[in-house]
Amino acid sequence: MDKIRARIIGTGRGVPEKILTNADLEKLVDTSDEWITTRTGIKERRIASENEALSDFATIAAKNALEMAQVKPEELDLIILGTVTMDQPIPASACFVQHNLGATNAAAFDFQAGCTGFIYGLSIADQYIRAGSAKKILLIGGEILTKVTDWQDRTTCVLFGDGCGAVVIYAEKGERGILSTSIHSDGSMADFIAMTGGGSRIPTSHQTVDQRLHYIKMKGNETFKVAVRRIESACRESLELAQIPAEGVRWFIPHQANTRIINAVAERLGWPEDRLYINIDRYGNTSAGSIPIGLDEVVRDGKVKADDILLFSAFGAGLTWGSSVVRW
């Protein structure tokens, strides 16, 4: 008897029109195109305007995914949104998306797992589908990171971009769908990637604003050293759970944080360049949005065929990391 699986039947993305290039950044801070490209692989990134918020792009991504899936908003049982840059602290941005779509029958909530948000979201959706609690789920991952970026910090302002990606996940019998997910965290390294101001520990005040505590801070070198090992281990774990050999992966679509991390993981697992999908040069680090944006691109470009094995993996604030194997 075929198992009920969580199958991705639609993808979509929503990104700002404005582009900020490395040449533009050279005018803002002491940096250069060569320095940024060599260390990160980033050439440009998308920037939301002053009056644009996360839910605007999440809604666009969602509509595109629903159209591909041929699913009406009112058919959705659940909307889940992975982000660290919600429209406002209360309520959840997923509720704004629900209203924008007219998804009147869907429960909606946000969750936070940093750059690993989309992987965590796949795990959540998979559990709902397998338990029989939902049949059609909209999963969105996305960020407006440039609004919590310190544009005076040359080490971080070159990294981040804005954008959202979405998938529609459907309960279906068969062998196609999410085969496995592997998620992990280690709070002992929480200060590696953090924004300390504005919560219950350090509430917003004139002092926290003056101290620039409402911007993302990173320990880049420490994070890099941990990321490669953790991503590799998560990939191996999810492949083992899915009973798929590394050479069986057609597309490795990782979180787009740094090309050096991506290439290091691919080398350790023996994947050639034609199995890697990299778009960090055009988007920068969009955190929870990077994997679903990349997935939408490869799908719409016709690069993914039925029964192809896709591997997603990410590493982010928390620290969190994880991986997922999908049969398309």
Active site (catalytic) residues: 115, 255, 285
Among residues 162, 171, 160, 184, the alpha carbon closest in space to that of 324 is found at 184
Number of other residues whose CB lies within 10 A of the CB of residue 307: 10
Nearest-10 crossing angle of helices 54-69, 290-300:
40
Q: Which of 287, 293, 148, 284 is nearest to 209 (CA)?
A: 148
Q: Which residues contact 235 (CB under 8 A, 6 or more apart)?
A: 246, 252, 265, 269, 311, 313, 323
Helix axes 220-242, 259-269, angle to 10 degrees: 40
Identify residue 73 by its one-letter amino acid code: P
β-bridge mates for residue 78, sequence order: 107, 137
Q: How many angstroms separate the Cα of 235 from the Cα of each of 150, 183, 206, 311?
A: 32, 10, 44, 8
The whole-angstrom separation of Cα 143 and Cα 162 is 6
Amino acid residing at 67: E
Residue appearing with tokens 């062998």: 175
